[in-house]
Structure 1
Amino acid sequence: MDLYSEISYIKGIGPKMKELLNNCGINNVIDLLLYFPRDYEKILLDKNLDSTKDGNKVVINCTVIKIDRDVRTKTKRVISTVVFKYNNGIIKGKWFNQPYMKEKFVLRKQYTISGKIQSFKGERMLINPTIINNKDNIIMNSSIQYLSDKNENAGYKLVPKYPLREGLTNNFLIKIISETLKCITISENLPIWLIKKYEFCSLDKAIRNIHNPESNEALLKARKRLKFQELFIFSLKMIMLKDFINNSRGIAFSISPDLKVLKEQLPFNLTNSQSRVIREILLDEKKNKQMNRLVQGDVGSGKTIVAIISMFNVVKNGYQAALLAPTEILANQHYLETQQILKSFNINISLLTGSVSQKQKEIIKSELKEGNIDIIVGTHALLEENVEFKNLGIVVTDELHRFGVIQRSMLFNKGKNVDILVMTATPIPRTLSLYLYGDLDVSIIDELPPGRQKIETFYVEHNKKDKVYKFAAEEIKKGRQAYVVCPLVEENDELSINSVEKLYRDLVNNYFKEEEISILHGKMANKTKDEIMNKFKNGEIKILVSTTVIEVGINVPNATVMIIENAERFGLAQLHQLRGRVGRGSFKSYCILIANIKNDIVEKRLQILKNSNDGFQIAEEDLKIRGSGELFGVRQHGESNFILSDLINDIELLKAANAEAKKLLKSQKEEDIKFKNEIIKKIEQTSQFICFN
């Protein structure tokens, strides 16, 4: 078995498990070893449970000395109790509404059990303990590390917690990864001088410790090595891509005199910032080298008009333009706006999305191939192989982070040296964007159109949520609408859906009994999501309870209230994005963050959002706080292919990786030239940045 072997070669993986793993993107040994834990659980092996803090999970070897009769409480809960004798004492195991659990135990028999320690009325107990079978006893059979805390006489094991999907268990993943690592050795693939300079552990040791940490220190070293590796490969990739683009010839478009006519016909004045960015794009279009530009613009800053003008000039040069959007809702919005702006110029504009009928799709594809369509706006449907252009000149991608590198390149390759314009409404600190978008020229729209009202932002503790929903009800009585975003739940789709449905029931039963309220989450079919969003846009739905799928969505000028539950779990950039869903009309708008303010730093971050509506300022302030090593909220990747790195928190590591990548590319040492050639092959084979030899 080697790194490229199919997972079916791994002991314990049959056809059913192979299918479940394939559904998680795990097809071979490399994929399995790169399926990193999302978290770790500290399991204690205590010699004296009396000194163990409440809430800690423990594992003990014990003997059953008594099985009590079940007790039924006044609230009709059934409490089952088994008494265990262990190393230094006696402890009770208690189960709530699980009477069948005590039947698993036999008097005077020995067991290894695991559960959380809890105190109640001075008595220590294990809550809902489970039996650990010998064959699955990964914890007891592993090396145990010892805590340095003098107050705790305990050894512990860090147990990985993997992202799970239906049918997969954490123990199964631990077991097969452990089996795989027994049969394989991972070769080193960074230059030796680089490993020595930063005192990195080997790649083999890093992979072993990320899955089965010898200690907390070993885990930190493994994470640092692997983070550096993916940031280093990412930097190499960006620098090489930039060089390739700079040496590529593009299409030299002339500046159309109709641009002046278009500008005069606009129903609004462009901001100075929009005008500056348009000039930068038009200068790129004039050059005979390929444009590769990113436009960063805050929520509501007017990026779409910039894209329309960019495409208009290309069309006036006799070429076609394509605008790729991540959702049908956004594609429809761009299509209607493009039609409205260019209605007097005899330009043929079409829309291609998944919901377009098959017959209409064939007509559109034929027209595109013939060159009769000037501008095509669409979703992933534009990426299909049989979508062909006669003369594609520019591709505009909206919200680039929603598309993978491969997806974007599929569209760019439908033309020859086409100009590339990518847009994002996610404000990224300027200091970070230099490294993150090394292959792109960056333009920033850093002012909002005149007349846009500031969104009033407030944050409150959970115990004051009643006031928040009463306020929302008052706004709805005035004829307005509201979004409610449910708490973010780790990486588990099922839990996220349960969370949004629970919140929905709570709102229906307690706050909005007479209002039209609906639910929206990412697992719904696209058609269903679009129907709900269109009903919300048309005012048929008054309150929309949603996960973050509405982060990039349709323009609803009548929506004036954005309520975000458990706001402390979100990153500031994402909170700012969500806030941007309101304040799009002439009505006063509000964003209310309901949060568990557990420390000063959480409050400081919420205060930043309350005091500023400038996404770039928010991003810079967030970087200052998070750059200190504190981890808050969800990971905010600027690049969807990263496995471990969080670019906000790992900016210093990114700077170092970027500097070393530049140094390596200039090096003429034999070792470095050999490494460069190998890494180029790996980059061509995969979009993953943690590459194996």
Structure 2
Amino acid sequence: MLTWESSVQELQGVGTHRSELLKKLGIMTLGDLLSHYPRGYIDLSSPCGIAEAPYDEVCAVLATVIRKSNEIRLHSGMKLYKVTAADDSGVLELTFFNTKYLVEKLEYDTPYLFYGRAEGSRNRRSMTTPLVYPADSGHPFMAVYPLTAGLTGGMISGLMKRALKLNLRLPEVLPETVRLPHHLIGIKEAVYSIHFPTSLEQLERARRRLIFEELFILAAGIGALKTHTKVCRAAAMQPHSLQPFYDALPFTLTDAQLRAIGDLVNDMQRTIPSNRLIQGDVGSGKTMVAAAGVYFAFLSGAQSAMMAPTELLARQHYEGLAPLCKKLGVKIELLTGSMTAAQKRAVYQRLSHGEVDFCVGTHALLSEGVEFRRLGLVVTDEQHRFGVAQRAALQMKGEHPHTLVMSATPIPRTLALMVYGELDISVIDELPPNRKPVKTYKISSSKRERAFGFIRQHLDRGLQAYIVCPLVEDGEENTGLQAASSYVVELGSSAFSGYTLGLLHGRMKAAEKEKIMAGFKNGEIQILVSTTVVEVGVDVPNAVIMMIENAERFGLSQLHQLRGRVGRGKEQSHCILVSDSRNPDTVSRLQMLCSSNDGFEIAEYDLRTRGPGNFLGHQQHGLPQLRIADLTEDLDLVRDAQAAATQLLSVDPMLEHPESASLRHAVEQLMGQVGERPN
């Protein structure tokens, strides 16, 4: 019998090739498929006549096909088709490219719904590459799904219909004692209605139910984690002077860094294991706060571990901290997956014997053979790249060690208290002196060639640049956005012919990504064309230009994070935002970034102005990726779900009661997700 956990390959029409494509979207089971929620809907419920179609807006127009032109071959090799449709109010000229099959299927004197951007005059309108639906499609709202190359929205929709016909027993996570008081529909009705709504009211009921459930699971998971931490006991460390640490530094720490160190050291002298987040802008000096904690643990006879998301970042931390550790007598080691078995065994032995005071590494720190003699402090860098379960796995290497997590993503404190529910927060809200702010400019695509010339001038001086795209491959979305994989080829044969370009995106294997980033850091690659996977990356002081295509597609906080990749050396750095958007709100947001380098000010503005689902970006918050809920847009439901979870945890704090079994399973699944996602 098929269940929520059954493989998606059990579904008719899903063979090996299609299952690999679905896997790119995170779909491996039937449950994954049904939880692949639409990112929007095409509204066909109220089509308009041709003359009433709002100018330069996307809409559905009901019109009858009256004429089709012959195929026109363009110089580019594309094939163009013209179709004329009409109604009592006017004429609609339709243009299609390379869609012979679609045009041939259109029948004369037959009404269709054409969905696209309406242009032209009042009684003679036009649309380019509109979507076409039968006039009586039976579905007033067509779901629009996140896609990848090789999969269309129609394919996903067809698979959804087949999966729903299987009549699977869907897991009901919300007990009736939670569901009924909050007027939430059942899970079966919600899942069907989210994919195939027949009215806005039905869609809203489904969204409300699914959003509440996701937030409830999250709140219950964080609450249970906090409860677990409070019942644990850590060995309190004795007070020690950190003056030798400060004397060993070749610079003076900022007041914000000193405050954060004070918070951490106070935590480490308590018997309750601390969970502290150090939140600060790129370059604010979070690593030095962690180093102070490591030294304090060393003075107390305890070991420390620091986990970074990639080998390059781990090596960067190791090489940066090794000279300081040597001065202070702290024995530091590096542990990564690429080391030989013999090298790893030697490190394991020194760790277990207490001969290593501080171990910097990657996920290799979680390996079965890693044992510490007395682990007192665990540090995770770039917090949002790790799932909660991974942080917990490293903590399990010791007897309830203190935990410090670092994040360069500025999040307003009001939101951070919700997002980092199980953590105390220290904010580093100032940058070290003498740091040159990055100069930021917004340009339209018409000035792109001029920007390329500006980049070439810097490359010719031996400097480097990033160019960031919103997509990995062409065809992921029918939007005309830049895709990194094709753009790198185009640039290498035109604007940057003769220069060395590299490609980086989240779908590459870890070793491949490491190799590309190492080549960029070593100067072998002059331009790195990438997706947002570089927003957390290796420190490359020689990279001084960050160019971001389709900048309107990113949240301000994410753009600020990307901008933080440059401005790390002595040279003046520049960030170029390319956008043709004329939307006043979008223009205002991008201009705000051009006028400010303060990550927290930008984050507050972004939270106030950005639309649903965009503020936190992809995995910006150290929590599992939410499929449908939005922590900024759904604030009322966040509060309701938190209150309901708190009430449940008051009687079942560790979710051990039999009636909490489904919820506990959902919590384990959500909280156990791996932090990094393809970009």
TM-score, normalised to structure 2's length?
A: 0.84
1:545 equivalent in structure 2: 529
Residue 575 of structure 1: how far off its partner (Å): 1.0
| 1:313 counterpart SS class | helix
Sort the Cα spacing of 1:306 and 1:69 in 2 relative to 1 into closer, same or farther, 3 A.
closer
Q: In structure 2, what is the Cα distance between the partners aligned to 1:140 and 1:100? A: 21
Q: Is 1:34 the equivalent of 2:35? A: yes
Query: What's the CA shift for 1:519?
Result: 3.3
Per-residue Cα deviation, 1:399-418 (whole angstroms, up to 9, x for no partner): 11111122222222222212
Match of 2:676 in 1: none
**2:350 paired with 1:367:** yes
2:431 partner letter: L
Q: Tell me by how many angstroms 1:443 deviates.
A: 1.2
Deviations 1:636-680 (A, max 9, x none): 652233111222333343234323433444479xxx997984566
Query: Structure 1 residues 674, 215: closer, same or farther in 2, change over 3 A?
Result: farther
**Distance change in 2, residues 1:536/1:494 (3 Å):** farther
User: Secondary structure in 1 aligned to 2:540?
Assistant: coil
CA 490–600 in structure 1, closer or farther in 2 if over 3 Å, else same: farther
Which residue of 1 is the match for residue 629 of structure 2?
A: 645
Alignment partner, residue 6 of structure 1: 6
Displacement of 1:582 in angstroms is: 1.6
Change (3 A) 1:516 1:397: same
Matched, 1:603 2:587: yes
Q: CA deviation at 1:552?
A: 1.3
| Aligned twin of 1:150 | none
Contact 1:301-1:446 at 8 Å conserved across structures = yes
Shift of 1:620: 1.5
What RMSD over aligned residues (CA atoms) do the two structures have, in Å?
A: 4.2
Cα drift, residue 92 of structure 1: 8.6
Classify the secondary structure of the residue corresponding to 1:591.
Answer: strand
* Paired residue secondary structure (1:344): helix
Give CA deviations for 1:393-434 in whole Å, capped at 9, x if unaligned: 221111111111222222222222122111101011000111
Aligned-partner Cα distance in 2 for 1:632–1:285: 33
Matched, 1:382 2:365: yes
Which region of structure 1 is more displaced relative to structure 2, 342-351 or 285-294?
342-351
Matches within 5 A, 1:257-406: 257=241, 259-406=242-389
Aligned 1:194-213 pairs, distance under 5 A: 194-195=178-179, 198-213=182-197
Question: Deviation at 1:588?
Answer: 2.2
Say if 1:569 and 1:633, in contact at 8 Å, map to a contact too: no
Residue in 2 that maps onto 1:570: 554
Determine the C-alpha separation between the residues in 1 that align with 2:107 and 2:442.
54
SS of equivalent to 1:654: helix
Give the direction of change, closer, same or farther, for the CA distance of 1:344–1:431 in structure 2 (3 Å limit): same
Q: Which residue of 2 aligns with 1:518?
A: 502
> Which residue does the alignment assign to 2:642?
658
Letter aligned with residue 390 of structure 1: R
Q: Contact 2:67/2:84 (CA < 8 Å) preserved in 1?
A: yes
Q: State which drifts further: 1-10 or 652-661.
A: 1-10
After superposition, the C-alpha distances for 1:460-499 in whole angstroms (9 at most, x for unaligned) are 2333333433333334445433222223579987999971
CA contact (8 A) 1:626 1:648 kept: no
Question: Structure 2: where are the runs of 5+ without partners?
Answer: 674-679
| Structure 1 unaligned blocks of 5 or more | 145-156
Q: CA deviation at 1:435?
A: 1.4
Corresponding residue for residue 677 of structure 2 = none
Distance 2:10 2:109 in 1: 35
- Could you say if the C-alpha distance between residues 262 and 630 of structure 1 is closer, same or farther in structure 2, counting changes exceeding 3 Å? closer
Give, in whole Å, the separation in 2 of the partners of 1:117 and 1:648.
Answer: 30
Task: Tell me by how many angstroms 1:295 deviates.
Answer: 0.9
- Report SS of the residue matched to 1:443: strand
- C-alpha change, 1:220 and 1:370, in structure 2 (3 Å) is same
Provide the rounded CA distance (Å) in 1 between the counterparts of 2:473 and 2:179: 33
SS at match of 1:293: strand
1:503–1:47 distance in 2 versus 1, CA, 3 Å:
closer
Aligned to 1:152: none
Inter-CA distance 388–471: structure 2 relative to 1 (3 Å threshold)? same
Please say which of residues 30-39 and 78-87 is displaced more in the overlay: 78-87
The answer on whether the counterparts of 1:296 and 1:423 sit within 8 Å (CA) in structure 2 is: yes
Deviation at 1:335, TM superposition (A): 0.6
Q: Residue 532 of structure 1: SS of its match in structure 2?
A: helix
Once residues 403 and 373 of structure 2 are traced to their aligned partners in structure 1, the CA distance between those partners, rounded to angstroms, is 17
Moved more, 430-439 or 232-241: 232-241
Q: CA separation in 2, counterparts of 1:400 and 1:225? A: 29
User: What is the identity percentage for the equivalent residue pairs of Structure 1 and Structure 2?
Assistant: 38
